[in-house]
């Protein structure tokens, strides 16, 4: 399957640089697969499409304010992006900028806060850094002075007000601070407000949480000519026993909030025909693209994704499970979204596929 099938033209002005004034004020592109129709609503209208017995499966991973600004002993600026903990205590795999000027053994830091020492570098650009801090660990330091790891298509923030807004809005309202494991937000969940969640609960909609440790691989485009030749990134996930039970026993539809929830559910069900018998820790290495059937997802809430991305492949597969027909329909849907000037990517608008 040619990767070009998942490319599309997108005017730069449609890449959302700021969130909507209110989370649920974002637009909602509604796709009815059975009727093969679309509708144009707002996210606050979501309760009209859900009913009692439906179950929303959502990723409760909290985003780490992982971007740290530091300096070398010589005074040169260093930007350190925390990705995930390494095996040793207070060591993390990171991205460093400028990475080429920081060989193994090089140090950087912020006086009175922390010092980082480069322990190892990989061919993929990852750097293992050991940290010493004046108090707590490097995660505690990041909580104090770190910035949200916004994706590269969002312009840099220069004011305290902008950075404070990102700290609030690049995080779901149901993010679990005990699961601060994400290097990027599960963005489909950014549209929910506490009021909207309460409205859905009052209607009889239930919620089940899972945790996928979202990595930066989610932003990596497909660079191979054929989709099947792309090496998909791997991400750790946690699936509580109660969420597993809901997957097998819910009376209504299983609605995934975001592609991260889909990936978690489908990876788990590709290995389990019954609940695992307790909380489950796994690693998703599943590449979902057409043609593919779905075992555990009946409807999907998602954002508009980058051209030539693995997330676009997943949405195309979900539009027409078991066939490749969803590719052409996806291209039509995205062309209409562009024509109607929907806002794209992380801070953009949403889509509901029923």
**What does the pLDDT look like over 289-308, one tens digit per residue?**
999 999 999 999 999 999 99
Overall average pLDDT of the 320-330 stretch: 98
Label the pairing between strands 107-110 and 91-97: unpaired
CA distance 230 to 289: 11
Q: Which two tokens stand for residue 202?
A: 């009052």
pLDDT-above-70 percentage for the chain: 100
Residue (of 45, 351, 59) closest to 196 by Cα position? 45
Per residue in 75-89, is it b (16+ CB within 10 Å) or e — as a string?
A: eeebbbbbbbebeee
* Contact criterion met (CB below 8 Å) for 248 and 27: no
Class of domain 67-146: mainly beta
Overall average pLDDT of the 216-236 stretch: 88
Backbone angles phi, psi at 29, to 5 degrees: -90, 110
Overall average pLDDT of the 235-259 stretch: 96
> Given this model, what pLDDT does residue 101 score?
87
Q: Which two tokens stand for residue 243?
A: 């969420």
Confidence of residue 330 (pLDDT cuts 50, 70, 90): very high
* Contact criterion met (CB below 8 Å) for 284 and 86: no
CA distance 102 to 95: 11
Confidence of residue 100 (pLDDT cuts 50, 70, 90): confident
Q: Which two tokens stand for residue 119?
A: 């322990």
For 118-159, write each residue's pLDDT tens digit: 999 998 789 999 999 998 899 999 999 999 999 989 987 878
Q: What is the DSSP string of 35-77?
A: TTEEEEEEGGGGGGG--TT-EEEEE-PEEP--EEEEE-TTS-E
Overall average pLDDT of the 2-15 stretch: 97
Sheet holding 280-284, edge to edge: 37-42, 27-32, 350-353, 299-303, 254-257, 55-59, 206-212, 235-239, 280-284
Confidence of residue 218 (pLDDT cuts 50, 70, 90): confident
160 pLDDT more than 90: no
Overall average pLDDT of the 231-247 stretch: 94
Q: Taking all residues of the chain, what is their mean pLDDT, rounded to a whole number?
A: 95
Q: How many other C-beta atoms lie within 10 A of the C-beta of residue 158?
A: 8
pLDDT-above-90 percentage for the chain: 89
For 21-65, write each residue's pLDDT tens digit: 999 999 999 999 999 999 999 999 999 999 999 999 999 999 999
98 pLDDT more than 80: yes
DSSP designation for 168: H
> Given this model, what pLDDT does residue 286 score?
93
Domain ranges of the chain: 3-63+169-353, 67-146
CATH number of 3-63+169-353: 3.40.1780.10
For 165-217, write each residue's pLDDT tens digit: 999 999 999 999 999 999 899 999 999 999 999 999 999 999 999 999 998 77
């Amino acid at each position: 399957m040619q990767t070009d099938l998942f490319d599309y033209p997108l005017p730069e002005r449609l890449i959302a640089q700021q969130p909507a004034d209110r989370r649920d004020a974002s637009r909602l592109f509604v796709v009815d697969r059975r009727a093969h129709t679309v509708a144009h609503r707002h996210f606050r209208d979501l309760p009209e499409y859900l009913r009692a017995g439906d179950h929303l499966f959502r990723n409760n991973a909290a985003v780490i304010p992982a971007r740290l600004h530091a300096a070398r002993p010589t005074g040169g600026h260093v930007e350190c992006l925390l990705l995930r903990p390494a095996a040793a205590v207070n060591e993390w795999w990171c991205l460093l900028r400028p990475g080429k000027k920081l060989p193994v053994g090089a140090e950087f830091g912020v006086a009175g806060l922390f010092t980082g020492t480069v322990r190892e570098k990989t061919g993929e650009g990852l750097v293992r850094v050991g940290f010493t801090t004046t108090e707590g660990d490097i995660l505690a330091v990041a909580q104090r002075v770190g910035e949200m790891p916004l994706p590269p298509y969002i312009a840099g923030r220069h004011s305290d007000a902008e950075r404070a807004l990102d700290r609030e809005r690049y995080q779901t309202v149901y993010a679990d601070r005990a699961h601060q494991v994400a290097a990027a937000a599960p963005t489909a969940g950014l549209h929910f407000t506490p009021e909207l969640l309460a409205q859905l609960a009052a209607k009889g909609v239930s919620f089940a949480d899972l945790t996928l440790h979202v990595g930066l691989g989610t932003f990596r485009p497909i660079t191979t000519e054929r989709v099947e030749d792309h090496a998909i990134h791997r991400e750790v996930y946690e699936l509580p026993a109660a969420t597993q039970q809901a997957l097998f026993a819910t009376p209504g539809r299983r609605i995934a909030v975001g592609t991260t929830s889909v990936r978690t559910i489908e990876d788990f069900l590709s290995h389990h025909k019954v609940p695992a018998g307790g909380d489950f820790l796994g690693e998703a290495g599943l590449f979902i693209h057409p043609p593919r059937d779905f075992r555990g997802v009946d409807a999907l809430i998602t954002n508009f994704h980058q051209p030539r991305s693995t997330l676009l492949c997943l949405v195309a597969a979900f539009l027409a499970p078991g066939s490749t027909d969803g590719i052409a329909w996806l291209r039509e849907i995205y062309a209409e979204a562009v024509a109607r000037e929907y806002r794209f990517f992380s801070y953009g608008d949403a889509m509901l596929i029923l």
